[in-house]
Structure 1
């Protein structure tokens, strides 16, 4: 609870300006003129309509506000349109200008050039790097990369390798200065190499038996037994046991990616229970793949997208960036995450490539269906069942063929493909997808991911349940998981807030009691008195006293005199349009 300590001063009306609030004559608190916006904004931060392009303003606490943007806009005040410049395609602080049909142009900052201002002026011309150092060009600067044995900004200082600052000998080794090789290391037991950083492989001469796996340690090793063997060297044989009785139908089953079980003890048939991500009578098909490794990707056979084609996938992620799909050489289609939205680059011969961004964010940890339809020079994107949007890569060129000898990549790309995609501005970020990609369809046909050309550093199925509250939208409340098809959580709003995501202020006007001395023109009451203030939110109305009782209070003045004043004691508060500022 906040109690005014007596230092606040009046700003209006003019007759009370700069007077202490608690000592000013309350009968003079009458504003005849319309209060300025700066005063009104103290009560309602939304009074100046700060949200642009039809955005909805939601007042917060302490003169703060948030803007709920209309579809197609973003930014703190909804001041930016989601257009071809949304993904900042121009590099090095260049200015992006929207043209038409998903096109843009770049105005370069000083020191850069190129279509996307990607080329930096070479500052290494006339550099001062010494002792054969390599010069690295920076932005309006350069850096000297020193040869072995030298340091300093210009590589002019010779290194003392055995000093505490540079000692390269690891794992407790002793460093000795050398005139021939500048230094040498005397290694501790179990290590070797010039800097004693290599652990000697003690498994080269081990005593592990019965196909056991030898695990190297430091100056030691351990034997990891298999097939039921035990003992220090896995020399003790196992005790035999049968996994299934001889009469079980699971003795000879055809379950490929799961396990076999007998529905009941008298059944002569078996059922395949598929592992996560697999389906089919024999669990022979894979429909879901998990991506967690930084180099993960899946490569499929080249995609036939002539004269038209469509790609549909379900994605689940909490990441802001990551490759979704990439296909093509010069002509291409590239889908990736950018700031949690789906970004698609589409090029079939008319430079520059056309760009489109989803209005929806998809990094909330729940499933989202992404559809991409190619027809001629146009590409249509739809996220979930929302409105479809189309871009056209139009120009003088009729159309390059999208047919490519390259594979269709999902969730990431190989290193060499990624380098070319970045240098050609097909992808903004080649980081691998983090999450789950499932239900892949090409031209309407479901794809069995077991038939992929390559599955690199991925897992079959999507293990683990994402906490739906990790990316919740409850602005003024707490999140609770809930099984629904649209939003898998509910918001429990804080007092004074309501709505699906607790974004709507409730009309609420309460009386806050306090007990304090009353002061007026330097005189003060002999003892504290009980009073109250009205606080809350009433929308277009005011939170004000609706029932007041007047009380005569005796005041003691510094000169010894006594005064009596009439004080309004607030009894009830409510929302009211009476006496609100005009």
Structure 2
């Protein structure tokens, strides 16, 4: 059962029991049909979960209207949704009365029936120990059983006992209670004896499998009671090797590919058989089976059976799932019926596909079909004989298609049909569909879902409840409706094609001469492909099947493909290009010329046409406008501000800033000059001198000299050697000698000198500096920093550009010095120079390893650029010449 609001159609089955919880969780179900079943009673609350139920069909069930069904009468009075007219079957006093109209007090029980029916319905079916029971199939295979199991359900239709250890089939009467049993599988056991009467009561069995056992003899009484048996597979080419007599006379053998093995088997053994004869197919009728040649054992498709194909395999289309006789092909995106549907199918589900058409023979071989589901496809028309031969069909679902009409008599062969689902279709309810309304009202074959979509006034009306008088033909039927089953009405054939009805393709188009295609849309005459070009007219000759082209003026040739060349005598001037036209020509002018024949020279420097930008000067030349750019701009139209920084010569890491017609160098701190080529001056030695007692510092040949004031001496004037008194009353307070030393003890050396012995962690002359004395404390590196060698000696590691013991000397390496000037050349007796100055670098300085004489490296250009410049001479002439200018200098091999 579905949890969706779709209808649940369970009518026309053999349901005798509905458990109280059967409809649990189906709160969205809108329609429930239990019409035409075997239901006698229903437990109270069975319909309680159906909160959305709108329609209920319970008629044609043998209801016992006792006290157990009182609740149903109350329910139907409170919820008048039962529309099929459910009635009581018993007791006699209430027989044939509508349940919803009987008073509650009429539903009485005599005592024993109060729980009998309810208990029978809600008791669980019995299943033999270790076996599996599902859908009336009892599967006891592969359990090593040695005899028939006990407690087999009476409703069993198929009993599987294959692959066990049964050796003797005892006559226990087990099949007398299995009245619905159809199939018994006893293959792959150890059966060597079958007692007489074992199969008494098995008259409903139609199929018995005894292959792969130990039988060596067969008696006629072994299978007594199996009057309905038509398939008996206990003989095959590897069994019954001791057989001497097998009477097969008077059997209607169908000598197709499945019996080829038996013919070969009979010819290979000397046994008495009664000389069985074929009864079909017709060309083998009455021919002894063992005389039929192997190639004549043919199946329907005409294939000759090979020896390995003696066992018939079940047939199932690759797109479908087959379980016994149930074939399910839903949700497979099918556009047509799948090939290879088995003939014995009883239930066929083709829902939720894209099937758009059926033929009169779609289901012609499915005589056992009881349920056919075609819901939710794209069907527009059901052919009148599409259901012919389906005499067993009980349920047909066409729900959710595009069907507007059904031809009267379409259900004439389906006499067993008890339910038709045709809802969600645009039914056109005029007089031609009145028969369908009458048909569904007889026996409630349609559950009250199908509604009309037209004609006007019938929209939305139920097919089941609308009076037959409303089904009228009051005007012409819409073309879109007629075209579904009569597609020729819509005139699908083009180009005068004739539409003809077709039982398979619905219609075919008979095309007029010269056209083809499904709709006659494709022309086939010689002119249909328009072979004539350039507007030529095609003239066809039906007798010769050839054509000729009538060309327009200016064209000729078999296909009018040749254009007459009007440029052979053109008048285009000034090198213009002539382009041929149809009966004329066009002049495409070269640059700077205009006019129909390009006869007029264009003023390229006139306002609005002057291409020169940035206040540059435009001059007209034979090749077009020429722009003389203002300083700082380049390009054909002087639109590009030339980046002089591309050729910049800024030094010492300076940043180049482009300007119009030049650039500037932003120097790092300490550097100066136009190109930042001037390094900062070396620091004075006095900057690091530590003269004391206000002594001035004097730079003497790069060495700091402290000039001591009177009364002081020493390298840094740190020693007081005398005191002068200016005033008569002056005095000198002498401190303790040890106070001379800040962090140490003063030791007198002579009359005029002393020394300090410093405390631990202090140093310097007066013990006034903290920390141990390091070798680098006395080495002053002017442009670098002090380093220690592995031996503990000190040296200065100089900054780039400096050298010397204390990094005091500026190096002079090979470098390029920027120059900006006119470039001058001598031409004959004339002096010429460029019309504007430009920048380059001159290489100056030395290289390590010394000059051309020593075969070493020289300071020379490493990279040059070639530029074209205009020169003006003092004799009035001018010319253009390439000039190489250096842009980077360095040391390279001398040449």
TM range (shorter): under 0.3
- Bigger radius of gyration among the two: 2
More helix by share: 2
- TM-score w.r.t. the length of structure 1 is 0.20
- TM-score w.r.t. the length of structure 2 is 0.14
More strand by share: 1
Higher relative contact order (CA 8 A, sep 6+): 1
